[in-house]
């Protein structure tokens, strides 16, 4: 049931809305359907980002992709948690690591989701910030990739979303935007800083394209 | 249902002729480029081919939007304005504090087209040049950020005039009263305008490529030449003369109006070129393969539409 709801909401309604009204140009994403599992690593400027990424996914794998979101924001109440989990298919995590309680540890939670066969969408900037300005990346994604080195990461870059719907403003004012995907890549280093550098570089390449 | 799909253009000889002419030209162009491509494989025709493919799509969309139902035509032209407005304002770099005013500018689009739909001429003609012109600066002022407010006030109004007010005259053509003995009506006028404007673009381009030597505005658009300009005007005026059956005008009037479409189309083209040059882009976006953005295609239309409308309105209505 949730699979069908996600398909209708994202492939049909959201995609049409984002394309025609907001003015988002989607890049091809068919290649994702042939990947077994992946972590999409994207820049973050707007609530529209998650919607755009989900709307861009091939219908076949849509229900297998979980956007990772902050529990303190999207899991504030029981209702909010349920809605996020059902309609956005989120994986809610807390922002801080918790090594004493592996159940609550964000890295652990993401690895468990991967092991359950899900792909993930991650915003390593952590928060949306000022429109069109990239913030320092948090290393969580590198920790996950180090634990599961056979999972590829896919860089994704979005432009213009922060103008259509910036942080602290819930009014959508249509603005030409775009989403570009980079290539699925395996990590080739055992060092967290080097992995993050590689990811940041990939995002910058997409930004210039 | 009948209200939405009255395919009566099939019974209207004038409209049917134009449909056949348009598809005839497209077939001719496609065959021509295909044959030339086979005979001279070294000639690089990929841009012309992708342009032609896009023309097929655009022509089909315009014809469908114009002929299937007038109600759809109003919605389609409003969507065209909306998309053009979004494309233009997105590249002009507005401030974050302009968002509320821009939102209201968006709201004015359905209102303007509704006024065209109900045919309230007095309100239609003042809504953007007066009502929005006075209201949008107020909305900007209420936000309180005065840094760069002059630029926001003026460019927002300019974008609205160009992409909404000007283009909405296409919709109003459909609301003009019926004239005795003139059967193709607003749809005929709309087809005449769009077809002639686009043919003019193609003619200016073709003559410029064939004979172009003397640059006309080298600092703005190095590809525009006197040869292309004059050749385009002459061909467009002649083609317009033969399409006069779509209008309620006399032969001389058709010649004059076709000439005016050719000239104003050229002006629209170079005005948009200068804007692109200022912000340092070649095309507004990549929405239409081979052409660029929506605005790269309808830049001339934004100028020809109000010129054509008011000339016809003055002469015939």
Nearest-CB residue to B96 (from A25, A131, A160): A131
Look at B106 and A173 and tell me if their CB atoms are within 8 Å: yes
What is the spatial distance between Cα A155 and Cα A201, in angstroms, rounded to a whole number? 10
Q: What span, in angstroms and rounded, lies between the C-alpha atoms of B199 and B188?
A: 16
User: Exposed, middle or buried by CB within 10 Å (0-12, 13-18, 19+), for A107?
Assistant: buried
Region B259-263: mean pLDDT is: 97
pLDDT band for B282, please (50, 70, 90 cuts). Answer: confident
**pLDDT bucket at A130, cuts 50 / 70 / 90:** confident
- CB distance B262 to B236 below 8 Å: yes
pLDDT, averaged across chain B: 91
pLDDT digits (tens, 9 = 90+) for A50-103: 999 999 999 999 999 999 998 888 888 899 899 999 999 999 998 888 888 888
Largest alpha-carbon pair distance within chain A? 48
Q: How many CB atoms lie within 10 A of CB A35?
A: 13
B86–chain A Cβ distance below 8 A for any pair? yes
Relative to beta strand A177-181, strand A152-159 is antiparallel
Nearest CB to B90 within list A160, A169, A171: A160
Q: Report the SS3 class of residue A132.
A: coil
Percent above pLDDT 70 for chain A: 100
Whole-model pTM? 0.92
- Residues within 8 A of A (CB atoms), B 19-78 only: none
Rounded to the nearest 10°, the torsion over CA B87, B88, B94, B97 is: -60
Closest residue of chain A to B104, computed from CA coordinates = A173
CB environment B115-126: b (16+ within 10 A), e (fewer):
bbbeeeeebbee
pLDDT tens figures, B218-240: 999 888 999 999 999 999 999 99
pLDDT at B6: 59
Nearest to B167 by CA among B84, B53, B45: B84
Residue of B nearest to A174 (CA): B86
Contact between chains at B90 and A175 (C-beta distance less than 8 A): yes
Interface contact B99-A131, CB threshold 8 A: no
The two three-digit tokens of residue B163, written as one number: 């992409």
Contact: A25, B103; criterion CB under 8 Å: no
Using CA atoms, how far apart are residues B259 and A175, in angstroms rounded to an integer?
36
Determine the Cα–Cα distance for residues B308 and B312; give it in Å rounded to an integer: 6
pLDDT 10s digits, B153-162:
999 999 999 9
Give the distance from CA A118 to its chain's centroid: 13
User: What span, in angstroms and rounded, lies between the C-alpha atoms of A165 and A47?
Assistant: 7
């Amino acid at each position: 049931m949730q699979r069908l709801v996600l398909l209708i909401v994202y492939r049909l309604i959201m995609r049409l809305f984002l394309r025609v009204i907001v003015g988002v140009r989607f890049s091809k994403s068919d290649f994702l359907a042939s990947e077994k599992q992946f972590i999409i690593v994207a820049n973050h400027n707007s609530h529209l980002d998650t919607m755009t990424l989900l709307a861009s996914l091939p219908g076949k794998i849509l229900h297998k992709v979980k956007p990772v979101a902050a529990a303190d924001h999207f899991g504030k109440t029981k209702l909010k948690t349920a809605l996020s989990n059902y309609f956005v298919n989120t994986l809610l995590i807390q922002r801080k690591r918790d090594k004493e309680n592996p159940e609550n540890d964000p890295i652990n939670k993401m690895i468990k989701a991967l092991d359950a066969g899900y792909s993930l969408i991650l915003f390593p900037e952590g928060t949306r910030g000022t429109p069109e300005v990239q913030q320092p990346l948090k290393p969580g994604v590198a920790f996950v990739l180090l634990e599961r080195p056979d999972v590829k990461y896919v860089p994704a870059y979005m432009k213009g979303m922060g103008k259509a719907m910036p942080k602290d403003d819930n009014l959508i004012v249509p603005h030409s935007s775009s989403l570009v995907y980079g290539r699925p890549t395996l990590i080739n280093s055992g060092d967290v800083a080097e992995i993050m550098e590689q990811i940041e570089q990939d995002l910058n390449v997409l930004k210039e394209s | 249902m009948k209200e939405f799909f009255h395919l009566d253009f099939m019974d209207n000889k004038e409209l049917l002729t134009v449909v056949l002419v348009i598809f005839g030209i497209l077939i001719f162009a496609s065959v021509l480029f295909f044959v030339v491509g086979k005979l001279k494989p070294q000639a690089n025709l990929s841009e012309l081919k992708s342009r032609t493919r896009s023309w097929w799509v655009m022509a089909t969309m315009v014809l469908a939007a114009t002929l299937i139902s007038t109600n759809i035509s109003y919605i389609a032209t409003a969507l065209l304005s909306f998309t053009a407005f979004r494309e233009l304002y997105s590249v002009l770099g507005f401030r974050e504090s302009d968002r509320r005013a821009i939102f209201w500018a968006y709201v004015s689009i359905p209102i303007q087209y509704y006024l065209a739909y109900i045919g309230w001429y007095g309100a239609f003609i003042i809504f953007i040049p007066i009502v929005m012109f006075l209201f949008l600066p107020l909305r900007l002022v209420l936000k309180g950020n005065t840094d760069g407010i002059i630029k926001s006030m003026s460019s927002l109004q300019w974008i609205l005039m160009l992409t909404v007010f000007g283009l909405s005259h296409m919709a109003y053509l459909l609301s003009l009263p019926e004239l005795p003995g003139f059967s193709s009506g607003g749809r005929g006028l709309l087809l005449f305008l769009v077809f002639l404007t686009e043919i003019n673009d193609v003619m200016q381009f073709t003559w410029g490529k064939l004979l172009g030597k003397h640059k006309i505005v080298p600092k703005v658009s190095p590809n525009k030449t006197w040869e292309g300009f004059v050749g385009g005007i002459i061909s467009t005026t002649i083609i317009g003369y033969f399409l006069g059956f779509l209008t309620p005008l006399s032969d001389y009037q058709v010649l004059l109006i076709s000439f005016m479409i050719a000239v104003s189309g050229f002006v629209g083209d170079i005005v948009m070129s200068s804007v692109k040059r200022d912000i340092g882009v070649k095309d507004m976006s990549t929405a239409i393969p081979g052409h660029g953005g929506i605005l790269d295609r309808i830049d001339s239309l934004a100028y020809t539409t109000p010129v054509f409308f008011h000339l016809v309105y003055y002469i015939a209505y």
